[in-house]
Every structure is written in structure tokens, then in C-alpha cells.
Structure 1
Amino acid sequence: MISFSMTEEQKELSRLARKFAREEMRPVASECDEKEIFPRTVFEKAHQTGLITYRFPEKYHGGGVDSLLTSCIISEELFWGCAGFSTSFGVSALAAGLIHHFGDEEQKKKWLTFLCDPGKVRMGAVCLTEPGAGSDFGAIRTRAERDGDGWKLDGTKCFITNGGIADLYLVFAKTRPEEGAQGVSLFLVPADTPGVSAGKKEKKMGQRASHTADVIFEGVRVAGDALLGEENMGFYHAMKMLEESRPVVGAGAVGVARAAYEYALDYARERKQFGKPIFKNQSISFMLADMRSKIEASRLLVWRAAEMYDRGEPCSMEGSMAKAFAAETAMEVTTNAVQILGGYGYMRDYPVEKWMRDAKVLSIYEGTTQIQKLVMTKLMEAE
């Protein structure tokens, strides 16, 4: 039987994430957005609370909660708190996830523990995007060449979440350039390795509380065991990563949309014009009804994709549907929230303008909405 109920464990984790979002994230979100700073202290608190490492086995200091659906439930609450913070949290967990999926036991003991240890909090980052390569995976130009028993990396990555502040980079680099996307491998590169440096920090429209920057690799030498998974299997690793991350991003979009909807609803109930709350005007109440409906529909798409993943079923179609629909819903809902508040919604004194700015990149990163539709149409063609 299909169920839309959370387990007791999921309910408890949802309450934990909501409490953290309300008490630790929201009070500083506006200031961090305004100053364009990522608060390491909030990351450390989230890490120590277990809200970043819960999915990994306990023997590596994780929480042992191996469920993508649970990740989506937690992600919705954290993005409700602040999308910028949550994006940085999620990318660090994504880096750990790559090690968990593709690392051998020695790599997991060393590097998954490195990222999960609550005693010494560390941050991860995934270095895939380049100035000329995003969704076009085969266009990656960063090179990894054999150097004795190890490897030498050269290249520049851009738009890297946690770039320049992470402790460990998961780097996609060409090991067999003539084979395009099939000649990419994945490497573990500690941030303190000679030749690794931070480039330009981006000034963004939204999610300003997430640190985004270039990462530069110049003659970076790593040992042979820095290769994660099999050589030339980077494309497969990236597709696996995206299959898992897209429902989580969709859940984050639900959280941003829900935050804006809740605020707009409260405002519409209290704000009076022509002697009555503006909620009594059909043009406003119908807008809110549509917002609520699309948020609920987005959540159901996300949960469906995640539940399929947890059952071990292919869910590329469902994940792309969920990510695309939820991201566009977040943009629509936050825009309408600004409209409902009118002139106040346009002012920085009110949070809806931040949520609107934060929402936009949800339809861009982890594959644009157009890329999601390309994925869907290719899968439909193959049916």
C-alpha cells in the first residue's frame, strides 16, 4: 500500500532540523546574506548535531540513517531556514557521499571519517564545473596525468560551492582526454596540498550566505590512492551523484517555497485594505491556493523519486521531474509572495525578496530545468 506518512524516526529528524533552522539559521540568515559571508560556526553546529553526516555508517562517525527520503525531509526543513547555508551543508555531504559510494575500505576509513568526525569538523566540496564545462561533462579540461606512483592535476574549476574554504576537494579530471566524457576520473585532493589555491569569490544574486569560488590546481601531486573508484569512471560517478542529489535539491526548493508561502499567508490575513484583510480578495486568496497546491505537488514528486531510489529502482526520470518542477515552483511561489506583500515585499526589511533571489539558482545548479527536460525526453524516447 502507498503511504504518505513519515516514520517515527523521520518525524524526529524533521523536528530536529526544523528546530535547528528556526533557532540557529534564521536568526543570522539575513545578516549573512547582506554581508555575503558563510558562518562556519553554524556549519559546525549542524555537523555536531548530526544534520550533515546522518546518512553515513556509524563506524565512520555518521548517523547510520541510509535513506534518501529522510535526506529530502531534512533538506526541506534546512532550506526553510536558509537556502545559502543549506547548499553548503548539502555539498559537503555530497562529497562524503561520493567517498561512501565509490571509495574502498581504506579510503572510507581515512576520508569519510575525515569529513564525518564531530570532534574536528571539516568541510568537503565537489569540483566539477569549469568555465567551459558544466552539463557538457566531456568538455572538462582539468587534466590528471600519471606522475610516478601518483598523479599530477592541473586546471581551474569555477562556481564551486565551498570552494576556497573546504578541507577536502573531490575533483573530476580528464585522465584519457581523447575519450571525452568516458575519459574522466575522480580524485581526492586535500585543500592543503601544494598547488591548490582559491580563486575569485563570486558575488551572487542569491544564496549569498553560501561561499562560491574558483578553485585552482597547478601541478598538484597526489598519491596513487587519491583516485576514487575506477579510472575513467568519473562520468558514472557524476551521474550517480546527480541521481541522488536532484531529489534533495527538489526538497530544498519545497522548503524555500514553503517559507515564502507561510509568510505571505500570514501577511495576507493581517494586512487590511478597504476595511478588510487582503486575504478576503479572491485575487489574493486564489494565488495563495495555487501556491499551496504546487508546493504539495512538488513535495509528492520529490518523495516519490526518493522512495524509488531507496527501493533500488531506477529514478532518473522521477528525479529530474521532481527537481525541475519543484525548482520552478519555488521561483513562482517566491515571486508571488513578493507580489502579495506589494511594496513591502520588494524591501530588504522583509524576507520574501531574499527567498525570491535564493530560489532562482535552484533551477540552475545540479542541472538546469532545461537539462532536466532533456534527460526526461531522452528517457521517454527510449521507452
Structure 2
Amino acid sequence: MDLTKSLPARLRPGGRHGLADTEVRDPIGYAVAALGKLAQSDLLDRVGLRKQAEQAVFTVTRTGFQAATSANRAFTRAGSRQKAGVRVPAAAPKGVFDLTPSEDEQMLVDVVGEYAAEVVRPAAAEADEACAAPEPVLKASLDIGLPILGVPESLGGISEERSAVAGTLVAEALSRGDMGLAVAALAPGAVATALGLWGTEAQQQTYLPAFTGDEVPAAALAISEPAVLFDALSPSTTARRTPDGFVLDGLKSAVVRAAEAELFVVGAELEGSPVLFLVESSTPGLSVESDPGMGVRAASMARLRLEGVTLPADAVLGETDGSTYAECVRLSRLAWCALAVGTGQSVLDYVTPYVKERHAFGEPVAHRQSVAFMVADIAIELQAMRLLTYKAAGRAAAGKDFSREVALARRLCAEKGMRIGLDGVQLLGGHGFVKEHPVERWYRDLRAVGVMEGAVLV
């Protein structure tokens, strides 16, 4: 079947960003073909998406819940434990400093942006209140291929080269709908991408088929811990060697959709170095406690407790010298920068027409210099955040050291993102304080950028 026929008219061959049939076979072209399934979904035309009777969500009370983890899938072991897995090559250098998305990347952004505007944003308010993502929204994210964006093509994914730039663009576009739902939708893809980047042949053949199939499992990246001044590169969760493998003990926080997750990538300290471990939800010793936060509530964040969790020797993901763990943290921070840029753009897009239409003392409030300058500052800082984030993503995709760039981007996005959220509330006055307008939710979400570690990566 020609999936390009299901794309919106402006994305079909010959449209504004059209591609010839022979041009759809590049990395982003595969993504666009997968994303074309969105147009076939009746979700875009469904009225009252948030009121689905069959929606299976849980409402978190103040005391929360405590439950065993999901254990309804048995992963079949396959492949060689020692042999390195498939690795996609670094993106080819362009030779010039150019952060403009390519035509194919722009097509990807257009389709994901349409999904964010017409499916994600209408469901955001109720998802935030329920602390859970609606099933139709998550299903639509699977239909458009989000979990396999960073999976090598030879393993059933759509990536022929490092996809940090594409992942950054997707995260930004999704968060313009809602950051919480974006995190919930991107979490399984973060685990799949980690397997593609660092998994052995056995790990890839064991777990990735589930992510490239029809029934994609919920999965989570567990890095954060509930500690004051938590240092992501020095986790308190510990791993100790045993004759047969490892034993993990500790507590993780802000784990996305933990109650339904079937696979976790857990960070723990092993012999003085931080290491990533693959932990299946059926492993004895795991338990989940609800942990709703101030923002990003639709991601159903919870705490993951590990008490004497026994793992086999091949449960380590990547290297044990801390290099894989450090790269994971940096790619995660890059994803959060992209989420901050997208949410910040939503604030700017919302307040700009508002201050022009809102009248006070006989004229639009936008005529006041203090208001106009505040809106201009949001636009300036937002563009700075975007440029730093794109530069870090470009270096990551090219296989270059991007630690400095991502550190600068995260510092700016954490500081200015919160400021953008605060100014958005201020510009709406009393309306910024009530849930009738989405700016108060965006403000709460943007405050998460400076404290969240893990959950998503590109």
C-alpha cells in the first residue's frame, strides 16, 4: 500500500513539501511514511476525544496507590550475549553551520505537529487532571511510528543514521500540544532508542521486536531519584555483583507510566561507576507507588522501588565505565530542552493574540510598553533556547562530543523556560491563574525542565 496517499494533501508528492516516490526512502522518508497512518485514523474527526467511555485511566488520590508492576509479557531470549548489536552510523556532516530543518525533517514536523494540535491538545486538560494519558492518544502515537524513530532500519525501525535531530524536532512539535502527553507518548521510544544505541545483539533481538510490532509495550527510563540536590551522574541506587549477575536496591522517581510499564532502563551505581540495567517488570522485588508532580501530570509519573532485584549477567546496557550512562543523561537532557522549546512556543502563540484582543482603559493591553516588551523577551529567549538545542542535537547526531552544548542548552532552557511560563501567566492577569486557560498548566510543566532527569531521550 502506498502510504503517501494517506498523507495530508500538502505532504503528498507534488504538494508544498512533496517528494517523488523515489525520494521517500531516506531515514526521515521512512518516518514520514509511518506517520502517514495518522491520516487514516478517525481520531482526528472524533468529537469529544477526552470523553471516551472505554478510556481506562486511574485517578490518583492524595494517598496515591501502590501496586505490583505489569507482568503480562514474556520476552524471548535470543542472539549472542557478547556480540555488539546493530548500530546506526553518525549523520553525514553538512560542511556548514546550518540549523534549518531539511525538507524531509520539516515534513516530519508538519505531520507530528498536526497530531499534536488535533489529538494531543484537546485531551491535555483532562489528562492533566486525571494524571493519565487517554488510551486513544497513546494509540495514535503508536500508529504514527513514534516508538521506532530511533530504532535501526535493519531491526524493524526507520533510522538509517543517528536520529538526534529528528527526535529533537519531534519532541518539540509534540510538546506544543502538551508536555505531559508528549512525555507519555515518547517514553517507550526512549527505551527502544537506548536499545538501538547501546544494546547487544541478544538484547536487541529479545526486546526490540516488541517495539516494532503492533502491541508496543509501555516502557520507562528510570534515572531520577527523590533526593535533595540529586546528581544524575551519581545515583544512590546500587548494584552489586553476584556469581550469577547483579542485585539492585534503591528508589527511582518520576518514572513515566511505571504502573503499566513492562520494561525499565534503570540507572544504578556499580563499583563506583553509574551503569544502565535492563529490568523487566516481572522481576521479583519491584513495586510502584504513585508520585504525581506539580507538572507533567499526564505522564502518570510514579516511584519505582527496587528491593533485592536479581538480574542476570547480561542485564547491563552498554558499558560499565559510566560512559554509556553519561551519554544517556545528556541525550535525556537534550530531549527535555526540546520539550521546553515546544511548550514555550505554545505560550508565545497563546499570549500574542491575547494581549492584542484584551482591552483595558480603552485600548489593547499590547499598546503598553511593559506588555509589548515582555512578549518580545519571550520571543527572544525562545529563539536562543531553540538554537542552542538544535546545535547540541546536530553534534549528537554527527557523533561528536556535545556535552558542552547540551549543558548550555539545559541551563538556558531551565532558567528561561520557567521565566517564559511565569511571564505567560503574568500577561494573562487573573486569567493566567485559572484552568480555563492552558497557560497555568504550561507554567507548571516548564518548571519540570530544570529538575527532571531521564524519562525521555533522543
TM-score by length of 1: 0.87
The offset of 1:292, in angstroms, is: 0.7
1:132 and 1:315, CA in 2 relative to 1: closer, same or farther beyond 3 A? same
2:149 maps to: 54
1:281 maps to: 368
The offset of 1:101, in angstroms, is: 1.9
1:241 and 1:35, CA in 2 relative to 1: closer, same or farther beyond 3 A? same
Alpha-carbon distance in 2 for matches of 1:49, 1:296: 28
2:220 maps to: 125
Q: 1:15 aligns with which of 95, 101, 110?
A: 110
**Conserved? CA contact 2:149–2:163, under 8 Å:** no
1:6 and 1:108, CA in 2 relative to 1: closer, same or farther beyond 3 A? same
Is 2:191 the partner of 1:95? Answer: yes
Note the 1:258-273 alignment, pairs <5 A.
Answer: 258-273=345-360
Q: 1:328 aligns with which of 403, 415, 431?
A: 415
Structure holding more helix per residue = 1
Structure 1: gaps of 5 or more residues? 368-383
SS in 2 for 1:258: helix
Q: 1:209 aligns with which of 286, 291, 298?
A: 298
> What residue identity is the alignment partner of 1:164?
A
> What residue identity is the alignment partner of 1:242?
V
1:4 and 1:101, CA in 2 relative to 1: closer, same or farther beyond 3 A? closer
The offset of 1:139, in angstroms, is: 4.8
Is 2:396 the partner of 1:309? Answer: yes
2:329 maps to: 242
Structure 2: gaps of 5 or more residues? 1-95
Aligned residues: 357
2:312 maps to: 223
Is 2:275 the partner of 1:185? Answer: yes
Which structure is richer in relative contact order (CA contacts within 8 A, separation 6 or more)? 2
Alpha-carbon distance in 1 for matches of 2:131, 2:141: 19
SS in 1 for 2:176: helix
The offset of 1:6, in angstroms, is: 1.4
SS in 1 for 2:298: coil
Is 2:370 the partner of 1:256? Answer: no
1:139 and 1:297, CA in 2 relative to 1: closer, same or farther beyond 3 A? closer
Alpha-carbon distance in 2 for matches of 1:2, 1:172: 35
Q: 1:105 aligns with which of 201, 205, 212?
A: 201
The offset of 1:294, in angstroms, is: 0.9
1:26 and 1:139, CA in 2 relative to 1: closer, same or farther beyond 3 A? closer
1:236 and 1:288, CA in 2 relative to 1: closer, same or farther beyond 3 A? same
1:251 and 1:335, CA in 2 relative to 1: closer, same or farther beyond 3 A? same
Alpha-carbon distance in 2 for matches of 1:207, 1:186: 24
Cα displacement string for residues 103-145 of structure 1 (whole angstroms, at most 9, x for unaligned residues): 111211211232x224111122122333458316445243343
1:308 and 1:141, CA in 2 relative to 1: closer, same or farther beyond 3 A? closer
**Conserved? CA contact 1:189–1:226, under 8 Å:** yes
> What residue identity is the alignment partner of 1:102?
W
SS in 2 for 1:55: coil
**Conserved? CA contact 2:152–2:159, under 8 Å:** yes
The offset of 1:297, in angstroms, is: 1.2
Q: 2:435 aligns with which of 335, 348, 351?
A: 348
**Conserved? CA contact 2:292–2:300, under 8 Å:** no
> What residue identity is the alignment partner of 1:21?
A
SS in 2 for 1:5: coil
> What residue identity is the alignment partner of 2:439?
V
The offset of 1:341, in angstroms, is: 0.9
Alpha-carbon distance in 2 for matches of 1:332, 1:138: 29
SS in 2 for 1:362: coil
**Conserved? CA contact 2:295–2:448, under 8 Å:** yes
**Conserved? CA contact 1:17–1:51, under 8 Å:** no
Is 2:142 the partner of 1:84? Answer: no
SS in 2 for 1:169: strand
Is 2:424 the partner of 1:337? Answer: yes
> What residue identity is the alignment partner of 1:119?
D
**Conserved? CA contact 1:142–1:156, under 8 Å:** no
Is 2:35 the partner of 1:35? Answer: no
2:262 maps to: 167
The offset of 1:34, in angstroms, is: 1.5
The offset of 1:307, in angstroms, is: 1.1
Alpha-carbon distance in 1 for matches of 2:239, 2:398: 37
